[in-house]
Chains A and B, each alone.
Chain A
Amino acid sequence: MYTFTVVRQSPEPFFAARVPYVVAMIELIEGPRLMANIVDCNAASVHIGMPVSVLFDDLGDDVHVPLFRPATGATS
């Protein structure tokens, strides 16, 4: 994880129902960075440099997106 923020409010009902949620910039091992949410973790435990692994989720409305969660068995 390159950097992150925890979103605490949103004017949009879809996101307001999900606060607080983590928006992060993920640096892939291959080099590029992308934005994604970090899921399956407590927002308070998220920190820069933590290893994460990808999963693909169905957000509804036929939107399938890559998300990330704390990597299991990885060393930071």
Chain B
Amino acid sequence: MTSTGVVIAGVGEAEVNWKTDLSAVDIMAVAVHRALADAGLGVTDVDGVFAISPYFWMPSLTLAEYLGVQPRVSDSTNMGGASVVAHVGHALRAIQAGACEVAVIAYASTQRSDTGRLVTGSDALPYERPYGPLFPISSYALVAQRHMYEHGTTREQLAQVAVTARQWAALNPGALKPEPITVEEVIASPLVSDPLRRLDCCLVSNGGGAVVVTTADRARRLPKKPVRVLGTGESHTHRHIAAMRDFTTTAATASSAAAWEMAGLGPRDMDVVQVYDAFTINTIVGLEDLGFCAKGDGGRLIEAGTGPGSKLPVNTSGGGLAYCHPGMFGIFLLVETVRQLRGECGARQVEAARHGVAHAFGGVFSGHATVVLGSDA
């Protein structure tokens, strides 16, 4: 395992709820201030600003303006839900190059209060538009259908992903859907885009979050235990689903391979796993493509158990299916991994968690970013 010299020193969340009076930039700023306070830093320390939000054309500029920061490094890279996880890699390289020293990465949306639906600036592919696929669920449904055909993945296995998410959420006091559900209830919920049903879908909530990335040297003088950034990777093979090459294997294979190689670690070394679960099929495909099992075995891995007390704790906050989902879940994957590695997770804490991986999908299995994190023993 090699050291990158870069750490996550602070995390924060804000307005994870069904109703808010704040704007998306208010929420990003609150989350940034909380993350800085968590790190023992202040806004005047910030010289790198990374942000994404469907509400702003130039998110890092909007956030920096609001914070009163003139950054040396600014990045609004949009890879959908994978953006902020990709930003960790971008921040790492900027910090390693000496381009900035304290970077904040933030996301927020108020979609629940504004529309009750996904708020997105996503553009449609002209060659898909006339046929009426629902964005984004039909794209994931096309993958799920093919996965079931090629690999025998069952409707029950998909449902188990949602059931397990609720089990984790029941241990998270901040979770918006902690009520338990059964496989039967998932399978009886209304079809939206076959084979995916209502309870296969992530929540539609408000919320935002932020993380602070800095050098290990700087973090040594800070009060909290830093979490080391050990590996990062990003990739994509398509933007729109009709251009996806292989509908059951994603570019998560490439982004995770890069992150594993950089970290000098692999799936077996991970104590805690976060895989962006916008829909139940995501967790299955994600675990396969990150190398936690062979291609096609993801459903069986879910059946074997990824809930509280299992050997493979996945989406320990409750994930997008049960914790919250303000349009893009990436920032919450990072926040949860950091909190698990610091031992701050209360009833849902994974015992002696030292290494964790966060993988985010963006678009329609399009953008991919993987981050491997570690704490000192």
Assess A23 versus B142: contact at CB under 8 Å? Given A35-B131, A37-B131: yes
Instruction: Decide yes or no whether B265 CB sits under 8 A from chain A.
Output: no
Contacts of A36 on B, CB cut-off 8 Å? 131
**Given A2, A3, A21, which contacts B132 in the complex, CB threshold below 8 Å?**
A21
CB distance from A15 to the nearest CB of B (A): 4
Contacts of A8 on B, CB cut-off 8 Å? 190-194
Q: Which of B131, B133, B134, B149 has the most CB of A within 10 A?
A: B131
Would you call the interface of chain A mostly helix, strand, loop, or mixed?
A: strand
Task: Give Cα A25–Cα B133 distance, bound, in whole angstroms.
Answer: 11
Contacts of A25 on B, CB cut-off 8 Å? 142, 242, 247
Q: Are B128 and A35 within 8 A (Cβ)?
A: yes
CB distance from B248 to the nearest CB of A (A): 9
Contacts of B190 on A, CB cut-off 8 Å? 8
Q: Are A7 and B132 within 8 A (Cβ)?
A: yes
CB distance from A49 to the nearest CB of B (A): 8
Task: Give Cα A12–Cα B138 distance, bound, in whole angstroms.
Answer: 15
CB distance from B346 to the nearest CB of A (A): 38
Instruction: Decide yes or no whether B146 CB sits under 8 A from chain A.
Output: yes
Q: Are A5 and B193 within 8 A (Cβ)?
A: yes
Task: Give Cα A6–Cα B133 distance, bound, in whole angstroms.
Answer: 9
Q: Are B138 and A5 within 8 A (Cβ)?
A: yes
CB distance from A1 to the nearest CB of B (A): 10
Instruction: Decide yes or no whether B19 CB sits under 8 A from chain A.
Output: no
Q: Which of B173-195 contact A (CB under 8 A)?
A: 190-195
Instruction: Decide yes or no whether A9 CB sits under 8 A from chain B.
Output: yes
Q: Which of A44-61 contact B (CB under 8 A)?
A: 48-49, 59
Chain B, residues 136-150, CB within 8 Å of chain A (1/0): the string is: 001001110110010
Q: Are A7 and B142 within 8 A (Cβ)?
A: no
Q: Are B194 and A48 within 8 A (Cβ)?
A: no
Q: Are A10 and B132 within 8 A (Cβ)?
A: yes
Assess A23 versus B138: contact at CB under 8 Å? Given A2-B146, A59-B130, A65-B130: yes
Task: Give Cα A45–Cα B134 distance, bound, in whole angstroms.
Answer: 21
Q: How large is the interface on B (under 10, 10 to 19, 20 to 34, 35 or more residues)?
A: 20 to 34
Instruction: Decide yes or no whether A11 CB sits under 8 A from chain B.
Output: yes
Residue of A nearest to B148 (CB): A48
Instruction: Decide yes or no whether B72 CB sits under 8 A from chain A.
Output: no
Q: Are B146 and A9 within 8 A (Cβ)?
A: no
Chain B, residues 192-216, CB within 8 Å of chain A (1/0): the string is: 1111100000000000000000000
Contacts of A33 on B, CB cut-off 8 Å? 242
Q: Which of A3, A9, A34, A65 has the most CB of B within 10 A?
A: A3
Residue of B nearest to A59 (CB): B130
Task: Give Cα A54–Cα B61 distance, bound, in whole angstroms.
Answer: 49
**Given B127, B128, B133, which contacts A5 in the complex, CB threshold below 8 Å?**
B133
Contacts of B117 on A, CB cut-off 8 Å? 11
Residue of B nearest to A12 (CB): B132
Contacts of A49 on B, CB cut-off 8 Å? 149
Q: Which of A7, A21, A33, A49 has the most CB of B within 10 A?
A: A7
Residue of A nearest to B190 (CB): A8
Task: Give Cα A6–Cα B143 distance, bound, in whole angstroms.
Answer: 13
Chain B, residues 311-336, CB within 8 Å of chain A (1/0): the string is: 00000000000000000000000000
Chain B, residues 110-125, CB within 8 Å of chain A (1/0): the string is: 0000000100000000
CB distance from A20 to the nearest CB of B (A): 8
Question: Known pairs A3-B146, A5-B194, A34-B127. 15 more at Cβ < 8 A?
Answer: A3-B149, A5-B141, A6-B194, A7-B193, A8-B190, A8-B193, A10-B132, A12-B132, A18-B132, A23-B133, A35-B242, A36-B131, A37-B132, A59-B130, A65-B131
28 contacts between A and B (CB under 8 A): A2-B247, A3-B142, A3-B143, A3-B146, A5-B133, A5-B141, A5-B145, A5-B193, A5-B195, A6-B194, A7-B132, A7-B133, A7-B138, A8-B190, A8-B193, A10-B134, A21-B132, A23-B133, A23-B138, A23-B193, A25-B242, A34-B127, A34-B242, A37-B131, A37-B132, A48-B145, A48-B146, A65-B131
Q: Which 4 A/B pairs are nearest by Cβ-Cβ distance?
A: A5-B141, A15-B132, A3-B146, A6-B194
